[in-house]
Structure 1
């Protein structure tokens, strides 16, 4: 693989959580010589507790994937060099979309939400994600994940007190329409197109985005001269960014970025 020289990292947050989820990751990469950014989503530049108090929030509820992707596209284009994009869940999908636009030196999709046309028959995927779609509810109102839903979708297998602390520290309301957009052309990826190096990471215990779904996503990339790699980590759930031992994931990414 050709060496990746960029020293700029843009972390792209997923749905349902505050961009504060990257705080420790930013420090980790900055201590190793990278300049990092973790821009909040539009209408979400406030602490999670403040955003929850605004629920049901019409502004957040109006968010759509095409506009969110454009927001990050504009942010990336304003940087002095092509950055390394590291996205989680919905942020992983946005990473894929920006990589196909030639806007990244490399992309790392952590437990990435699937692009249009990729499916799974895993029951946990539908159990974790179905409430957020908000069918037969008012789409002008945000969806706020309950604590039991959070326990199943994000923090399964973790101690109760850790689950609760993460819920109140990071959980934010979400747009139902945005979640539905993953099945529309706004989430379309051209898998045959040349692209910057891409790394897909998955977790064996992720109920929300099962490892098998990530693997199918990875295997869709077919351009022979472009690099796409995949790694599954045992014991990792969807809260992988804050799950104890997250440094193992960050170290793996750094090693991948520095190899030739």
Structure 2
């Protein structure tokens, strides 16, 4: 009897975990056992998250890593992790800690050691950085801010629809931690990029991403050069930061599934 391989989907800032539902259905059809638990403090629905932004506030990178590590410990086998944005950073940290069988990090937030952020990334995160007090608060994006940070490569109507459907307030703390990472030897944004015994990693970039430009993902890839473990790179030239939730999500999901198959990490073991 075969056992389905568990998959954990990890969302990033400003998106609710339920935005992964199409991916969950696709991966389940492919024979995996997928789930998408939210970050610590995340309410179960988008509506509740918007009503109670204080529940999400002040959670940092280490809080989120420990939260998912505890969930992983309850699984029957090490999971495949699929993370977007800060979820991609979290997935890399967990993979580096040997807690996962493999990871797909999509438009992953910068890790310690990456080059300074390009101007578009600074503009995308300005809603948080414009007020130092936001380090301990949760911050929402307006439809216009979401359009620049996530929806610049899709139509204005689709961007507005995705903003209305999936966005929630996000804690400012992870962004402050990532921004200061290169000045802090003990930064929470540090990833064990030298681990040669970890599972395979796929880094995915969107060529038109304003929030995590492709240059950031390539800088992350370069940091893994001292690891003998599989580290692959894939880019979608015409896609922005919304690539996991917009109308082209299936292309990205199918590519992730195909890559997992090449790593001999099929749905059932």
125-134 vs 233-242, which deviates more? 125-134
CA deviation after TM superposition for structure 1 residue 146, in Å: 1.5
CA contact (8 A) 1:48 1:168 kept: no
Whole-angstrom CA distance in 2 between matches of 1:148 and 1:138: 19
Structure 2 counterpart of 1:113, from 109, 132, 135: 109
**Does residue 201 of structure 2 align to residue 205 of structure 1?**
no
Query: Taking structure 2 as the reference length, what is the TM-score of the superposition?
Result: 0.89
2:262 matched to which residue of 1?
259
* Counterpart pick for 1:243 among 224, 246, 266: 246
Asked if 1:84 corresponds to 2:80, the answer is yes
Aligned with 1:192 (options 174, 191, 194):
194
Contact 1:134 1:143 in 2 (8 A): no
8 Å contact kept, 1:8–1:36: yes
| Secondary structure in structure 2 of the residue aligned to 1:74 | helix
Matched, 1:71 2:71: no
CA 1:82/1:196 → structure 2, altered by over 3 Å: closer, same or farther?
same
What is the alpha-carbon distance in structure 2 between the residues aligned to residue 162 and residue 231 of structure 1?
25
Unaligned runs of 5+ in 1: none
* TM-score between both structures, scaled by the size of structure 1: 0.92
Query: What is the CA–CA distance in structure 1 between the aligned matches of 2:4 and 2:102, rounded to whole Å?
Result: 9
Q: Is the 8 A contact 1:63 1:177 kept in 2?
A: yes
Name the stretch that deviates more: 226-235 or 134-143. Answer: 134-143
1:207-246 CA-to-partner distances (Å, cap 9, x unmatched) read 0000111011012102453110001112111001112221
| Paired position in structure 2 for 1:14 | 12
Asked whether 1:52 is paired with 2:50, we answer yes
Contact 1:113/1:209, CA 8 A, preserved across alignment: yes
- What's the Cα RMSD here? 1.7
Distance verdict in 2 for CA 1:79–1:134, change over 3 Å: farther
**How many matched pairs?**
254
